[in-house]
Amino acid sequence: MTPRVIVVGAGAIGCALADELTRRSAAVTIIDAAVPLSGASAATFAWVNAYDKSPTTYRDLNLRGIDAHSRRSQRMQDDIRWFHQTGTLQLARTDTDFAALHEQIKRHQEWGIAVRPLTRTDVMNIEPRLSSTATLGGALFPDEGWIDVETMCNHFLGRAQAAGAAFHPFQTVIDIDIRNATVTTRSTDGDVHRHEGDVVVLAAGNGTRDILAAAEIELPITDPGAKDSLGIICTTGSVPRGITHVLRASGIALRPSRNAGITLTDHPTGAVWDVDDPQIWTVPGLLMQRARSLYPFLRDVSIESISLGRRVLPNDGLTIADWVGRDSSVYAVATHSGITLSSYLAEAVTSEILLGTRDHSLREFGMDRFAP
């Protein structure tokens, strides 16, 4: 019998899941409260990495994430290329940075992660528009890169729909029956609908917390209103001959963007202010100032768009991918680093749902680790 799977949420995780479930012959219905990419996936830095991640099981999960994107992406035609495996260039700007980077290189090599130490000349050769005074040297992580999230999600969702999946935008899940795989939605015009399946997968990002709360189940994720969950992503207008790599230095991270501009962020800087504090709007200027100290040609370039995003943060920082309660027909995926993990989680979660056995790579990421 073809299993009927309802996927709630059309972010990076939901779109990747819908594609994989459909590809493996499930009958899929996708529901979103708004349009695709209305949550964290719309305001993400989208850096694909396993950088300094711990514990080992979580690092391995992220390495599987990089590998899955790489495999899938190689099967794509050029016009729908979404994984840009540019490598990450980590810069050292001071002697202290340099000593810390040396330790990081050693640690990553011990973990079996590809990384190459670079002299200042090496750095200038691979990123020639960088200011020659900006760095003492660096490290290249060649397997990493960034995702064009919009192209990836459009591709996954489009392919799922072409294979028969139904997509219902503007329907908010307001109730869930976890024994009978049924969700109740309210559309923007107030109509209430019931959707019945054999399995419901909750991939609604921070929204999953509210959906489960309606069934009196607590999802152990950080309150999305908390300061630490907030991030600011800025993108410049198009920059001819911009930058090549994902580039990270103290106080700033940059990467090429889908509009041929440059996307900027910095986690600690973006998470200092409350969202309604006017001081938050000093962050884009600060990031641009730091970017210009690395790339003087950015003097004449300005920021074209700013997005505020709320991270999906399980209480221990690690992924949640598990059935919700015993004998339940509801599966929940809630994770930070969801861009890195999307293709792999789609494969592993689909196997769990269709085969009914726990995937060994997800064993450490169950709900039971939060049990008192």
* Contact set with ligand FAD (CB under 6 A): 8-14, 31-34, 38-41, 43-47, 172-173, 203-205, 207, 211, 231, 233, 309-312, 335-340
C-beta of 41 vs 135, nearer to ligand FAD: 41
CA pair distance 20, 126, nearest whole angstrom: 36
- Closest contact distance (angstroms) between CB of 239 and ligand FAD is 20
CA pair distance 143, 203, nearest whole angstrom: 27
321 phi and psi angles, rounded to 5 deg? -145, 100
Could you say which DSSP state residue 293 is in?
Answer: H
C-beta of 39 vs 284, nearer to ligand FAD: 39
- On the 0-12 / 13-18 / 19+ scale of CB atoms within 10 A, 100 is middle
Strand partners, 2: none
- Closest contact distance (angstroms) between CB of 138 and ligand FAD is 19
Q: Hey, how many other C-beta atoms are within 10 angstroms of the C-beta on 347?
A: 19
C-beta of 290 vs 336, nearer to ligand FAD: 336
C-beta of 12 vs 349, nearer to ligand FAD: 12
C-beta of 72 vs 310, nearer to ligand FAD: 310
- Closest contact distance (angstroms) between CB of 333 and ligand FAD is 6
CA pair distance 303, 111, nearest whole angstrom: 38
C-beta of 42 vs 137, nearer to ligand FAD: 42
In 295-370, which residue ranges form alpha helices assigned H by DSSP?
Answer: 338-355
- Closest contact distance (angstroms) between CB of 125 and ligand FAD is 26
- Closest contact distance (angstroms) between CB of 318 and ligand FAD is 12
- Closest contact distance (angstroms) between CB of 218 and ligand FAD is 16
- Closest contact distance (angstroms) between CB of 109 and ligand FAD is 23
**Contact between 176 and 305 (Cβ < 8 Å):** no
In 24-119, which residue ranges form alpha helices assigned H by DSSP?
Answer: 56-74, 95-110
C-beta of 137 vs 337, nearer to ligand FAD: 337
C-beta of 81 vs 120, nearer to ligand FAD: 81
Place of tokens 């989208």: 46
CA pair distance 289, 311, nearest whole angstrom: 25
For CA atoms 353, 358, 359, 361, the dihedral sign is: positive
Strands (DSSP E) contained in 164-260 are: 166-168, 171-177, 182-187, 192-196, 199-202, 230-236, 246-249, 252-256
- Closest contact distance (angstroms) between CB of 372 and ligand FAD is 26
Element holding 210 (H helix, E strand) = helix 207-214
